[in-house]
Structure 1
Amino acid sequence: MSRTLRYTLLTLLWVLVGGYLLFAALSARRARSGRLVERLEIEVADSSSRGCLVSSARVREWIGRSGTATIGTAVDAVDLPALEGLIARNGFVSSAVAYVDYAGTLRITITQRQPLLRLRTDGVDSYVTAEGYVFPAPKGSSLYVPVVTGSYAPPFPKGHAGSVRECVDAEIGRIAERIAALEKEKYPLYQREIENDRRIAQLRRRRIKRQWWRFESAGDFERRVAELRREKAILRRSYRYEARLIGQEIDALARRQEQERLRQKKLEKSYEDFAKLLTFVESVESDAFWRSEVVQIVARTTPAGALEIDLVPRSGRHTVRFGRLEDAERKFDKLMRFYRGGLSRIGWEEFRTIDLRYNDQVVCRK
């Protein structure tokens, strides 16, 4: 067989294969366009023993309330991106993927977020992930995660859903804009201040000379000098008063700026405490003994703005005053030594409070 004939046959073969694939694709498309959605199947990909935030029944309820057409609708008419967006806008849903298979089944696969703890403090009832993503607890939800209660004020508003870091950064940015706006308010005051200083300088340079060419007498000259002095005194008082007013307005704006900067610092410190709380809960959950021993974490914000916690253990009737979250590992070691060397001999029901807030000592109260 000649080379030309071989190339011709190969080309013809590939043309036939391409034509067949195109025909098959068009046939499949025609068949799909005429097919209706017959079933709806919803799968929560990461349901676990810790609980499930989202169920197929709840997703069906969302779809029903939205009015999105599904069963009985032409396959090509189903708005899959809208379905995915409808489901994913719930904060506890990490992702949603929807597609229709060739059997006419609309399949939706959902990945839910994995909370680290539940925060029920200061009017907030939200789940928080280890990455610092927060979302309001769905009604009727109950996951097996640590619960943090108390008067602690977290660094995000009630009902917030999203990254706490991004929420804090956005608020810090808004505060920075207010600081910049206050700085701009100073510009006209600076101009007034410069103009007032110029007038004061001009006033100091004002002098009068005796008008010899008019044969001005000494008495007339003294009268003019006295009049100038009185005029300069009045103007000097006026300019000094204006300078004082300008200074007070600038100082007032500066105080407002300082208050905004203080808000930024407090907000950043609040976020640092929030991150420490997440790290603390992770450390408790990673230790088999403390995970089973710590029943409840009570958090509070001190008047100085710091975060302190108490622990409610499973054993005994006491409360552990843990204090701030610095040196958490050292405090747990100190508490464990006291459990083994103290309470195991004295009795677990002896004390009401065990205080770990002091260096190298454990203070107990009955």
Structure 2
Amino acid sequence: MNRTLKYALLTLLWLLVAGYVIWASAAARRNRKARTVARLEIEVVDSTSQGHLVSAEMVRRWISSSRIPTVGTAVDEVDLTAIERLIARNGFVDEAVAYIDYDAVLHIEISQRKPLLRLLTDGLNLYATADGHVFGAPRASSLYVPVVTGSYRPPFPGDYSGEVRAHIDSRLAEIDRRIEELEHEKYPYYRREIENDRDIAALRRMRIKRQWWRGESSEAFDKRVVELREKKAELRRLYRYRSRVYRERVEQIAARQQAERAAQKKLEKSYEDFMKLLTFVKIVEEDDFWRSEVVQIAARTTPSGALEVELVPRSGRFTILFGRLDDAEAKFDKLMRFYRSGLSAIGWDEYRTIDVRYRNQVVCKK
């Protein structure tokens, strides 16, 4: 077989392969267009023993209410992206994936978020994850997670859903913009102060000379001197008044800026307290004894804005005043030693409150 014939046969073979691929693709597209969605299957892939936030029936209702075509619709006409967005817009859904298999079955796989605790404080009803994502508790949700009650005010509004850090950053950016706007409000007063300083400098340079060439008398010159002094005194009072007003206006704006910076610090501190609360609940949940012993967590915001916690234990009839959460593990260790060496000997119903807020002390009240 000569070389020319060999190349011709290879070229023909590749043309046949390419033609078959094109024909097969076109046939697949025609077949796909002719097929319709046979059924809808929904799976929550990470349901756990804690319970569930989203169910297949719930998703079916969402899709039905949205009027997005599914079963009976041509496969190519099903808007999978719209379905995923519809499901994912619910804060308790972590991820939603929709696809259609070769049997024309529409599959929707959903992973739900895993809350660490439920906030029932100050009129709120929210779930929070360990990484600081919050979302409203859906109706008929049945998750078995620790519940935090009390008058605690978290650093986000009750209707917020999303990453708390993102909300804090947005608020901080708003405050930064207000501080910058206030800085611009100072500029006109700065300019007026400069102009006023120039007027004061010009006032100091004001002099008069006796007009000998006009034959001015001493009495006339003295009269002009008195008039000039009176004029300078009046202008001096005016310029001092202006200077005081401009300075007060700038100080007022600076005080408003300082208040905004204080609000930033308070907001950051509130976020730190919120994250400490999440860490605190994790400590309780990861310890077999405290997970069983702590029945209720009550959180409150003190007048200074700090977060303090009280615990209701399963044993005894007392309340544990835990206080701030800066050294939670050390306080639990101290409380455990008191459980073993104190309450076991004295009696579990002897005290009304057990206070572990103070360093190296356990204060009990009957």
Query: Do they superpose with TM above 0.5?
Result: yes
Aligned partner of residue 125 in structure 2, secondary structure: strand
Aligned partner of residue 59 in structure 1, secondary structure: helix
Aligned partner of residue 99 in structure 1, secondary structure: strand
Answer yes or no: is 1:182 the counterpart of 2:205. Answer: no
Take 1:312 and 1:15, find their aligned partners in 2: how far apart are those partners?
Answer: 79
Q: Look up the equivalent residue of 1:102 and give its one-letter code.
A: Y
Residue 52 of structure 2 corresponds to 52
- With the length of structure 2 as denominator, give the TM-score of the two structures: 0.97
Shift of 1:99: 1.2
Residue 203 of structure 2 corresponds to 203
Answer yes or no: is 1:321 the counterpart of 2:321. Answer: yes
Q: Look up the equivalent residue of 1:27 and give its one-letter code.
A: A
Aligned partner of residue 22 in structure 2, secondary structure: helix
Residue 82 of structure 2 corresponds to 82
Shift of 1:234: 1.1
Question: What do residues 294-351 of structure 1 show as CA deviations (whole Å, max 9, x unaligned)?
Answer: 1111111111111110111111111111111111111101100111111111111221
Matches within 5 A, 1:285-300: 285-300=285-300
Answer yes or no: is 1:218 the counterpart of 2:234. Answer: no
Question: What do residues 114-144 of structure 1 show as CA deviations (whole Å, max 9, x unaligned)?
Answer: 1111111122211111111111111221211
Residue 335 of structure 1 corresponds to 335
Residue 151 of structure 2 corresponds to 151
Matches within 5 A, 1:214-293: 214-293=214-293
Provide closer, same or farther for how the CA distance between residues 5 and 350 of structure 1 changes in structure 2, counting only shifts above 3 A. farther
Provide closer, same or farther for how the CA distance between residues 7 and 292 of structure 1 changes in structure 2, counting only shifts above 3 A. farther
Question: What do residues 90-129 of structure 1 show as CA deviations (whole Å, max 9, x unaligned)?
Answer: 1111111111122221111111111111111122211111
Shift of 1:2: 5.9
Take 2:36 and 2:197, find their aligned partners in 1: how far apart are those partners?
Answer: 83
Range that drifts further, 207-216 or 18-27: 18-27
Take 2:163 and 2:4, find their aligned partners in 1: how far apart are those partners?
Answer: 66
Residue 27 of structure 1 corresponds to 27
Q: Look up the equivalent residue of 1:162 and give its one-letter code.
A: G
Take 1:360 and 1:295, find their aligned partners in 2: how far apart are those partners?
Answer: 25
Gaps of 5+ in 1: none
Take 1:282 and 1:113, find their aligned partners in 2: how far apart are those partners?
Answer: 16
Take 1:6 and 1:146, find their aligned partners in 2: how far apart are those partners?
Answer: 77
Provide closer, same or farther for how the CA distance between residues 20 and 266 of structure 1 changes in structure 2, counting only shifts above 3 A. same
Residue 357 of structure 2 corresponds to 357
Aligned partner of residue 73 in structure 2, secondary structure: coil
Take 2:198 and 2:191, find their aligned partners in 1: how far apart are those partners?
Answer: 11
Take 2:236 and 2:122, find their aligned partners in 1: how far apart are those partners?
Answer: 57
Residue 62 of structure 2 corresponds to 62
Provide closer, same or farther for how the CA distance between residues 14 and 318 of structure 1 changes in structure 2, counting only shifts above 3 A. farther
Take 1:45 and 1:264, find their aligned partners in 2: how far apart are those partners?
Answer: 40
Shift of 1:167: 0.6
Range that drifts further, 310-319 or 163-172: 310-319
Q: Look up the equivalent residue of 2:213 and give its one-letter code.
A: W
Take 1:4 and 1:338, find their aligned partners in 2: how far apart are those partners?
Answer: 97
Shift of 1:199: 0.4
Take 1:134 and 1:13, find their aligned partners in 2: how far apart are those partners?
Answer: 61
Range that drifts further, 134-143 or 82-91: 134-143
Q: Look up the equivalent residue of 1:346 and give its one-letter code.
A: I
Take 2:149 and 2:329, find their aligned partners in 1: how far apart are those partners?
Answer: 22
Gaps of 5+ in 2: none
Take 1:108 and 1:203, find their aligned partners in 2: how far apart are those partners?
Answer: 83
Question: What do residues 249-297 of structure 1 show as CA deviations (whole Å, max 9, x unaligned)?
Answer: 1111011000000000000011111111111111111111111111111
RMSD between aligned residues = 1.4
Shift of 1:18: 3.4
Take 2:304 and 2:111, find their aligned partners in 1: how far apart are those partners?
Answer: 41
Take 1:94 and 1:14, find their aligned partners in 2: how far apart are those partners?
Answer: 47
Take 2:256 and 2:116, find their aligned partners in 1: how far apart are those partners?
Answer: 38
Q: Look up the equivalent residue of 2:132 and give its one-letter code.
A: G
Residue identity (%):
65
Question: What do residues 229-258 of structure 1 show as CA deviations (whole Å, max 9, x unaligned)?
Answer: 111111111111111111111111011000
Take 2:179 and 2:232, find their aligned partners in 1: how far apart are those partners?
Answer: 39
Take 1:332 and 1:4, find their aligned partners in 2: how far apart are those partners?
Answer: 88
